C-alpha cells in the first residue's frame, strides 16, 4: 500500500505515530508549528525521551520517508490519510481545551482531497467528532475516531504489539482502509522493533470497528477505569497503613483473581501524566453535560489529589511532626519511569509541597531534570546524581520507580544519608526494605 499520510502535531502520540508509519513504507509528513521542536526532529532526534524513538526518527529523516514541516499546505493536499494528534490541554474547570483540535480540523479539512480520510487520534470528549463533522460540513464517513492507547516509556511497543486498535465511524469501507494501515505496520513490526532497538512484544491484538461516539467513549472509559483501579488501591493502602497490613501483598492476592487482574493496582503517590488526570476530569465534564453524575470518578479524582499530601503527612509524622529545616531528597520527578515527562507529576508536587512546608529540598531524576525545572519551586535544588542529592539528608522520598533508583539503594543510602534517616518509598518499589531497616533507616511505604 503506497499511501501518503500527514500527521498533525509532534507530541508523544504524533511523533511516535509518524515515525512508525514512516518505517512501515508510507510517506509521512509531520506538521509541527513549534520551531525548536521541528528543528530537533529534522536533525533526526526527539525533543523528549522515549525508548527506541530516536533511531527510527533518524532512519525516517535519512531515507526521506519522514518529512517534518510547519506547513499544512506541504503534505495535506496530497495525503490519503490525515491523523490529528494535536494537544488537548486542560481548561481551568477541568474540561479539555479543544481549540487545537478544531483549529487543526478546520485547516486540514479545507486542504484535503475529496476521498481522503481524517483520523482523530487526540483524546476528545464524546461528541467532538460529530461536532466537527457538523461545523465543517464534512462527509460523515470520512471522519474516523482512532483513539490512542500507547503508554509513554513503551510507546513504540504498545503501538506495534497493541491489545486493540479501535476505529469508529459510519463508513465500513473507510474503516477498513484505516485498519489496513495498521495491518501494514503490524506486518513490519519485527523489523521496526529491531531498528528501534526495542524488544519484540508477544500480544496478538484485535481490530475493533464501531460507531463514532462509542470509539470516543472507549478511550476515556479505559483510562478512567485504570485510574479508578489506582485510586481504589490507594484507598485500601490508607486503611492498610492504619491497621499495619501490607498493600503490595494484599493486591498480589486480590489481583490473582483473573476477574480482577493485578495491573494498575500499585498503590503509592497517585497517578500523574498527560492522560489520566485529564481523561478523568474530561469524563466527569462529559457526564455533567449530559446530566449524568459520575460520582465514582469524582471520588477517584479526590483520592488521587489527596495522595501527595498524604505522603507529606506521613513524612512529617516520621520526622517528629515538623518539616521545617529538615533536609529531604526527592528521587524521581518524571510522572513514571521510562519518560522525561513531568506533566502533573506527583514527584514534582511532593517536592513543591515539602518546600512550602519549610523543608530544604534536593531532587534528582535520571531523565526529567530539564522538564521538571518549569514546574518546580525555585528553592528546590536539582542535582545530577543520586549520591550528590542524598548527602546529609534527614529523609528521602522515592517518587518514581526508575530502575537506577530502586535497584541497589542500601549501600548508597548508607554512604550518604544521615544515620537513622527516614526512607519514604512513595511507589512501594523497594523489595529488600529489610536491608534498609538493618542499616538503621526508618523505612515506610504507602500502605506498607
Ligand atoms: C496512560 C494509559 O495507560 C494509556 O493506555 C493511554 O493511552 C495514555 O495514558 P501513561 O499516562 O503513559 O498511559 O502511563 P501509565 O503507565 O498508564 O501510568 C499513568 C500513571 O499512573 C503514572 O503516574 C503511574 O505511575 C501511575 N500508576 C500506574 C500507579 O500509580 N499505579 C499503577 O498501578 C499503575
Please say if the pLDDT value at position 316 is more than 70: yes
Report the distance separating Cα 113 and Cα 434, nearest Å: 65
- Could you tell me the pTM of the whole model? 0.91
At residue 273, the pLDDT reads 94
The residue nearest atom 6 of ligand 1, judged by CA position, is: 149
Q: How close is the Cα of 2 to the center of ligand 1, in Å?
A: 35
Question: CB of 154 within 8 A of CB of 45?
Answer: no
Tell the residue nearest (CA) to atom 3 of ligand 1: 151
Q: Which atom of ligand 1 is nearest to the CA of 229?
A: 33
Cα–ligand 1 centroid distance for 444 (angstroms)? 23
Q: Give the per-residue pLDDT at 1.
A: 59
CATH topology of domain 276-445: Rossmann fold (3.40.50)
So what CATH class is 4-210?
A: alpha beta
Q: Which of 218, 248, 273 to mutate to test the pocket of ligand 1 (most atoms within 8 A of CB)?
A: 273
**What is the chain's mean pLDDT, rounded?**
96
Report DSSP letters for 320-353, one per residue: TS--TT-EEEEE--SSSTT----TT-HHHHHHHH
Q: How far is the CA of 326 from the centre of ligand 1 (A)?
A: 32
Continuous H helices in 3-125? 12-23, 35-42, 53-63, 72-75, 99-111
Which residue ranges have their beta carbon within 6 Å of ligand 1?
Answer: 148-152, 223, 226, 230, 264-266, 268, 271-273, 275-276, 335-336
* Number of alpha carbons in the 13 Å side-chain half-sphere of residue 209: 14
Ligand 1 centroid vs 276 CA: distance in angstroms? Answer: 7
Q: Could you report the per-residue pLDDT of 123-145, keeping only the tens digit for each?
A: 999 999 999 999 999 999 999 99
DSSP 140: G
pLDDT per residue as tens digits for the range 400-443: 999 999 987 889 999 999 999 999 999 999 998 899 999 999 99
**Helix (H) or strand (E) segment spanning residue 89:** none
For ligand 1, atom 2, which residue shows the shortest CA distance?
151
Residue with the smallest CA separation from ligand 1 atom 15 is 151
How far apart are the C-alpha atoms of 38 and 43, rounded to whole Å?
A: 9
Residues forming CATH 3.40.50.720 domain(s) in the chain: 4-210, 276-445
Amino acid at each position: 500500500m503506497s499511501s501518503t499520510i500527514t500527521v498533525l502535531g509532534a507530541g508523544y502520540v504524533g511523533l511516535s505515530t509518524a515515525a512508525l508509519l514512516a518505517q512501515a513504507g508510507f510517506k509521512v509528513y509531520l506538521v509541527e508549528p513549534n520551531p525548536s521542536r521541528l528543528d530537533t526532529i529534522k536533525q533526526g532526534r526527539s525533543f523528549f525521551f522515549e525508548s527506541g524513538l530516536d533511531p527510527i526518527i533518524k532512519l525516517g529523516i535519512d531515507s526521506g520517508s519522514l518529512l517534518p514541516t510547519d506547513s499544512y499546505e506541504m503534505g495535506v493536499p496530497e495525503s490519503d490519510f490525515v491523523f490529528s494528534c494535536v494537544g488537548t490541554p486542560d481548561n481551568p474547570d477541568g474540561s479539555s481545551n479543544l481549540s487545537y483540535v478544531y483549529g487543526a480540523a478546520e485547516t486540514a479539512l479545507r486542504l484535503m482531497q475529496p476521498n481522503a480520510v481524517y483520523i482523530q487520534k487526540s483524546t476528545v470528549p464524546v461528541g467532538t467528532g460529530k461536532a466537527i463533522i457538523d461545523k465543517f460540513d464534512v462527509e460523515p464517513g470520512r471522519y474516523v475516531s482512532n483513539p490512542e492507547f500507547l503508554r509513554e516509556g513503551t510507546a513504540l511497543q504498545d503501538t506495534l504489539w497493541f491489545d486493540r486498535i479501535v476505529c469508529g465511524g459510519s463508513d465500513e469501507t473507510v474503516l477498513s482502509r484505516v485498519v489496513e494501515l495498521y495491518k501494514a505496520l503490524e506486518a513490519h513490526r519485527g523489523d521496526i522493533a529491531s531498528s528501534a532497538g526495542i524488544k519484540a512484544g508477544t500480544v496478538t491484538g484485535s481490530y475493533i470497528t464501531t460507531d463514532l461516539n462509542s470509539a470516543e467513549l472507549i478511550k476515556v472509559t479505559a483510562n478512567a477505569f485504570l485510574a479508578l483501579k489506582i485510586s481504589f488501591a490507594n484507598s485500601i493502602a490508607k486503611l492498610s497503613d492504619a491497621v499495619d497490613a501490607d498493600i503490595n501483598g494484599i493486591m498480589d492476592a486480590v489481583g490473582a483473581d483473573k476477574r480482577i487482574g493485578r495491573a494498575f493496582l500499585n498503590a503509592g503517590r497517585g497517578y500523574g501524566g498527560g492522560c489520566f488526570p485529564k481523561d478523568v476530569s474530561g469524563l466527569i465534564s462529559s457526564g455533567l453535560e449530559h446530566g449524568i453524575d459520575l460520582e465514582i470518578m469524582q471520588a477517584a479524582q479526590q483520592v488521587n489529589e489527596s495522595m501527595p499530601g498524604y505522603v507529606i503527612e506521613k513524612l512529617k509524622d516520621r520526622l517528629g511532626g515538623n518539616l521545617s529545616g529538615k533536609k529531604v531528597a526527592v528521587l524521581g520527578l518524571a510522572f513514571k519511569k521510562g519518560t522525561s515527562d513531568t506533566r502533573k507529576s506527583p514527584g514534582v508536587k511532593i517536592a513543591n509541597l515539602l518546600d512550602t512546608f519549610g523543608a530544604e529540598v534536593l531532587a534528582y531524576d535520571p531523565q526529567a531534570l530539564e522538564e521538571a525545572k518549569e514546574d518546580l519551586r525555585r528553592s528546590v535544588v536539582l542535582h545530577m546524581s543520586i549520591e550528590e542529592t542524598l548527602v546529609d539528608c534527614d529523609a528521602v522520598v522515592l517518587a518514581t520507580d526508575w530502575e537506577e533508583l530502586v535497584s541497589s539503594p542500601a549501600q548508597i543510602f548508607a554512604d550518604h544519608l544521615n544515620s537513622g534517616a527516614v526512607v519514604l518509598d512513595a511507589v512501594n518499589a523497594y523489595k529488600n526494605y529489610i536491608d534498609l531497616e538493618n542499616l538503621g533507616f526508618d523505612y515506610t511505604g504507602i500502605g506498607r
